Amino acid sequence: MRTSPSGIVGLDQILHGGFPSGRTTVVIGGAGCGKTVLAMQFLVNGWTKFGEPGLLVSFEESPASLATNFAEMPFPFAEAVGTGVLLLDGRVPVNTVEAGSFDLGGLIAVITALVAERGVKRIAIDAVDALFALSGEGFQRMEFLRLLEWLTEANLTALLTVKEFEGELAIPGFFALAEYASDGVLHLRRRLIGELSRRTLSVLKMRGAGFEAGEHPYVISSDGIRALYTPSSTTAVVSGLGVRLSTGVDRLDRMLVGGYRSGTTTLISGLPGTAKTTLGAAFLDAGCRAGERCLFIGFDEPAEQMLVDVRSVGIDLEQYVRSGLLRAQSYAGGAVIADDHYLMIEALIDAHRPNRVVIDPITALEKSGGSDIAGVVAERIVALLKSRGISALFTAVTETQNGELEATPLRVSTIADTWINLSFANQGGERNRTLTIVKSRGTGHSNQMREMVLSADGIDLTDVYAAGGAVLLGTARAEREQQDAVQEAIAAVNLSHEFETLDRDREGLARRLAEAQRGLDQIAVHRAELVKRTKVAGGAQARDAAMIHVLRRGDPTE
Amino acid sequence: MHEGTLLLLFVAGDAPRTTVAVENLRRALAEFEDRKFQLEVVDVYENAGRAIADRVFVTPTLLAPGTSRRLVGDLSENSQLRYFLQSVEIH
């Protein structure tokens, strides 16, 4: 079946392409569910993205009020309404009185004329129930069916919105009517979880077309409706072993054999004040230095505050915000349901297209409707980032010192490829920061605790002294280092003495060796002379022996 | 030129409701003095632009330009029709 895409992120995937072309879909929803926004996006996108002229018959809002409401939306409402999208003021005038039976002949005549004149392909009637407020149920059923029949004959792709009040439709019995008479039914719902509203949409029916069943969360943001749809095939994306990305801390890069792997997720857990955000900032700084696009999403404090704070450790991210390489955004954690955060994050990623993303802290999602929803949403965020090949760093606030011993919130620790825990060590009246790599998938890594030192020059990690079961940090470590330095100096002096002695001995031996060599040379010369003299004497003897042999008639020699 | 209060009756082609409405209206008007009203029947299929301008989406619709009153339906409810005609006549 041919489909007409709505151009709404997520919804077209749920509808396997879009609304069935030439068919009528009924959109049911209560107040604040975004029925009008959905209808408007369907029409505006239809014209601006797919070149299909559209018509909105507005039975509730005047075109002037719609223009005011949509003027703030970034999608090209004004542009479309001026060109390919028509707005028809369908409000029933106030002093209308019934005086007998009537039908929708006027509406149908008007639409027929506009279809012929403007080539309208898409139509939205918002909200169709207003039209039926006039008369009895029998009329409503008959006229609704007539309207559907006519829309199909006209081959229009239509959306009819219908209001719902606390589960009851504005038109009694309309639910069943819409379900059997229309080609498709899309149900928008808004529910309260605590004090937060959660919006979900579900396709109840889509004749002749496939769709994703179940409830899909969606959000209405400044750029319209966005539905959360993570196809099951991409949730299982397993990242390949990516290249190494600098963590922004030299020593940490070495501990991780080069850095985090690209396309993987890193979790930095720890108590408040353990410099989790700073490590996140270092990761972004390293990315921006390498010319990568970066995104920071903060929940606990304004992003601007973070930018100022990290200046104290020599990280200047503001320059990258100005150049547009880094986008820093902050939200109030508990203001909306976690689904909405997901969709806002997805929208930000779509808009900024980052290589690196930091979410600080991911645990803020728990304030957005409880840990059950937050856990699912966190997993979806990880799946989303992996499917886009984005390297991510999440911070997580733990409530106890040994964050690593706790099951970390949101189960992110099980999904994360690398997990680093930051902590404090109290010793000798000092509180020092420590860093431990808890796990790092597919990477050899140091399992030693390191002391993390923050200064105006940046972040540094130093070895800690682990001797006799005690770990030395801060001043204790420094004292130990001082002692060691003295020991080393003494050792160095001793060594140089030994070197001098050895060198002296070597020189003496070398002298004696030279003398001996001279003696050997003299002996050799003397011996050579002796050999020469021996040969002369030997020659005379041989001649004498031959003579004797002849004289004595000896046997012939060979 | 103006020969009485103008009445516009919007109808959808020659549907049965059109005929009923026109008949009901003519009968009611006959009870008034001549030239009190001037009736114009507008077929929405031929004058969609006028239907849009007057926000006429249900038919038949009777309205008197210059007043906010309008009647929808085939005008078979006689009392409503009489009341309507009396109230717009004053204008």
Range of the domain at B81: 5-87
Say which CATH topology domain A3-227 has: Rossmann fold (3.40.50)
ipTM value, please give it: 0.91
Residue A462, H or E segment:
strand A458-463
Distance from CA of A74 to the nearest CA of B (A): 29
- CB of B86 within 8 Å of a chain A CB? The answer is no
Q: Where are the alpha helices (DSSP H) in A403-472?
A: 412-415
Residues 1-30 of B with CB under 8 A from A: 10-13, 15, 17, 20-21, 24
B contacts of A61 (beta carbons < 8 Å):
none
Amino acid (1-letter code) at residue A432? N
Band (pLDDT 50/70/90 cuts) for residue A50 is: very high
- DSSP letters spanning A511-555: HHHHHHHHHHHHHHHHHHHHHHHHHHHHHHHHHHHHHHHHHTTPP
The C-alpha atoms of residue B72 and residue B59 are separated, in whole angstroms, by 7
Residues 6 or more apart whose Cβ sits within 8 Å of residue A333: A299, A300, A364, A365, A367, A368
Q: Which of A60, A35, A139, A49 is nearest to A85 (CA)?
A: A49
Helix, strand, coil percent content, chain B, rounded in steps of 5: 35, 25, 40
User: Which of A91, A109, A134 is closest, CB to CB, to B55?
Assistant: A91
A contacts of B24 (beta carbons < 8 Å):
100
Closest residue in A to B69 (Cα) is: A95
pLDDT, tens digit, 9 for 90 and up, residues B1-48: 456 889 999 999 988 899 999 999 999 998 887 678 899 999 999 999
Pairing of strands A184-193, A196-206: antiparallel
Per-residue model confidence (pLDDT) at position A272: 86
Residues 6 or more apart whose Cβ sits within 8 Å of residue A436: A404, A420, A421, A423, A447, A448, A449, A450
- Asked if residue A418 lies in contact with residue A267, where contact means CB atoms within 8 angstroms, the answer is yes
User: Which of B17, B48, B73 is closest, CB to CB, to A109?
Assistant: B48
- For the four alpha carbons of A301, A307, A312 and A313, in that order, the dihedral sign comes to positive
pLDDT, tens digit, 9 for 90 and up, residues A480-522: 777 777 788 878 888 888 888 889 899 999 999 999 999 999 9
**Disruptive mutation site among A87, A95, A118, A129 for chain B (greatest number of B CBs within 10 Å):** A95
Q: Which of A84, A49, A296, A60 is nearest to A161 (CA)?
A: A60
Cα of first residue to Cα of last residue in chain A, in angstroms, is 117
A contacts of B71 (beta carbons < 8 Å):
96-99
Instruction: Choose between A115 and A197: higher pLDDT.
Output: A115
Q: Rounded to two decimals, what is the model's pTM? A: 0.65
The C-alpha atoms of residue A235 and residue A378 are separated, in whole angstroms, by 12
Query: For all residues of chain A together, what is the average pLDDT?
Result: 84
pLDDT at A469 over 60: no
| Pair of tokens at residue A10 | 């997520």
Phi-psi region of A553 (alpha: psi -120 to 50; beta: other; left: phi over 0): left
In total, how many domains does chain B have? Answer: 1
Class of domain A244-463 (CATH, top level): alpha beta
Closest residue in B to A143 (Cα) is: B58
Q: Which CATH number does the domain housing residue B81 bear? A: 3.40.30.10
The C-alpha atoms of residue A76 and residue B76 are separated, in whole angstroms, by 47
Band (pLDDT 50/70/90 cuts) for residue A231 is: low
Distance from CA of B3 to the nearest CA of A (A): 25
Distance from CA of B35 to the nearest CA of A (A): 24
pLDDT, tens digit, 9 for 90 and up, residues A267-325: 998 888 889 999 999 999 999 999 999 999 998 789 999 999 999 999 999 999 999 99
Per-residue model confidence (pLDDT) at position A137: 59
**Domain residue extents for chain A:** 3-227, 244-463
Q: Which of A209, A291, A293, A282 is nearest to A248 (CA)?
A: A282
pLDDT, tens digit, 9 for 90 and up, residues A407-423: 555 677 777 888 898 88
